[in-house]
Copies of this chain bind each other. A is one copy, B any other.
Amino acid sequence: MTTYWCERAWLGPADGVREGVAIGVTGDRIASVETPAAPSPGAVVLQGLVVPGFANCHSHVFHRALRGRTQSGSGSFWAWREQMYAVAERLDPDSFRRLARATYAEMATAGVTAVGEFHYLHHGPDGVAYADANEMGHAAVAAAREAGLRITLLDTCYLSAGFGSPVRGVQRRFSDGDADGWVTRVEQLTAAYAGASDVVVGAAIHSVRAVPAGQLRTVADWADRRESPLHVHLSEQPAENADCLAATGRTPTMLMAEHGVLGPHTSVVHATHLGPEDIAVLGDCGVYACLCPTTERDLADGVGPSRALVTAGAVLTLGTDSHAVIDMNEEMRAVEMDERLISLRRGTWHADELMTAATSNGQSSLGFLGTSGLVVGGRADLVCLRTDSARTAGTGGDAQTAVFAATAADITDVVVDDSPVVTGSRHMSLPEAARDLDAVVGEILAAS
């Protein structure tokens, strides 16, 4: 049994921040929470503000290679996608694993204890399967384990380039031919991680563009039977809505609803361009709405109706998506800040709500049940933020400090399932992650 003594800890929206909190851990679970408490002999002392582990619910890990590389011209989301595809084309299991490992290490130093990897880079060049058709998926899992994170591998069905258009170019690496082919492969993947407590295999539908309507239910049914997470990109760009309406006469939301995609295990990612009926349906289904604000800034997606979705019944979660930024504090803050920019009102979201979105809501959406914050029975994830940095000094040390003042650079300690992954702001097992990342990005970009 480990005991952690926290100078301050955020115990959830009801209890807020308390001073002097002793957290006892048995196995990978929190066994006791006492406050006020003095540090006991042998306790691991965490100076600062301790919060639960962040769940990064939407990751395309290989996009990290594009940070700082796609900002030199003007253009659209679709022009950016061409640059992203050029990277996707060059990755092999080894370079993908190295890139993923260093990127997950960056996430760990930012307080992420579980990642949802929206994984569609399945096959080799020209779409030829590797000897193990899940070799790329295994590389993602191995990378997460090396970086000390839990992973939900959201294995993504991707079958078409658009409505009625077959995959082309690099997209052939994404496709399993049809949804039945996807099921066959994912069954093998699931079997490989049966019983693992640090890996969940979930399902994903890339988008209504990428999976024909008639095959949506095959993926949704697979997820339903297993009660596994099901993630989908939804209405990130106006063009997706227009194409879907033209092809099917329905919005992406309505099309997904009609084919059984939307339910309480479903996460809809972005959910930016929605009408009132879409919002009502998503709320009625009780979906998770996964916003990725720093990516939605970077890709010029716009600002989604976060409050309206939650008022309707959806549950907010967060992700760093393209990894233009990996900073869950900034991600929380950005939900509220971007809402202010378009509503011209302050305080749509309160700090406690955003903390809940980034931690327990997110962990639940990834299928890591029982991880509901710093409470008895919760998973033993602890993230410690400095309250004495240039950024956080004088800001009160409560949830507002975590959401509205701190950045990832303020995170000193990260414990995942009772293992110390980050100490003194350094990743313990991958101290050279940044150098490794630099090297692998160099290789990938040179290999044109």
From 382 to 418 in chain A, residues with beta carbon under 8 angstroms from any chain B beta carbon are 388-396, 398, 400-401, 403-405, 407-409
From 5 to 26 in chain A, residues with beta carbon under 8 angstroms from any chain B beta carbon are none
Q: With an 8 A cutoff between CB atoms, is A300 at the interface? A: yes
Contact check, B348 vs A74: say whether CB atoms are below 8 A apart. Answer: yes
- CB neighbours of A39 from chain B (8 A): none
A128-136, A148-156, A258-266, A336-344: which lies at the interface: A336-344
Q: With an 8 A cutoff between CB atoms, is A301 at the interface? A: yes
Q: Interface digits, A62-80 against B, CB 8 Å rule (1 contact, 0 not)?
A: 0011011101111111011
Q: With an 8 A cutoff between CB atoms, is A34 at the interface? A: no
> Do A73 and B347 form a contact, CB below 8 Å, given A68-B404, A394-B441, A442-B394?
yes
A350 CA to B433 CA, complexed, in Å? 29
A432 CB, nearest partner CB in chain B, Å: 10
Contact check, B343 vs A300: say whether CB atoms are below 8 A apart. Answer: yes
Contact check, B346 vs A393: say whether CB atoms are below 8 A apart. Answer: no
Q: With an 8 A cutoff between CB atoms, is A361 at the interface? A: no
Contact check, B346 vs A388: say whether CB atoms are below 8 A apart. Answer: no
Q: With an 8 A cutoff between CB atoms, is A84 at the interface? A: no
Kindly report which residue of chain B lies nearest to residue A352, judged by CB atoms.
Answer: B72
Q: Which of A68, A79, A297, A344 has the most CB of B within 10 A?
A: A68
Interface residue ranges, A against B (CB under 8 Å): 64-65, 67-69, 71-77, 79-80, 102, 105-106, 109-110, 238, 296-303, 324, 326, 336-338, 340-348, 350-351, 388-396, 398, 400-401, 403-405, 407-409, 433-435, 437-438, 440-442
Q: A72-B351, A300-B341, A342-B342 are in contact. List 7 more A-B contacts (CB 8 A).
A: A67-B395, A68-B400, A68-B401, A79-B346, A297-B337, A300-B344, A409-B409
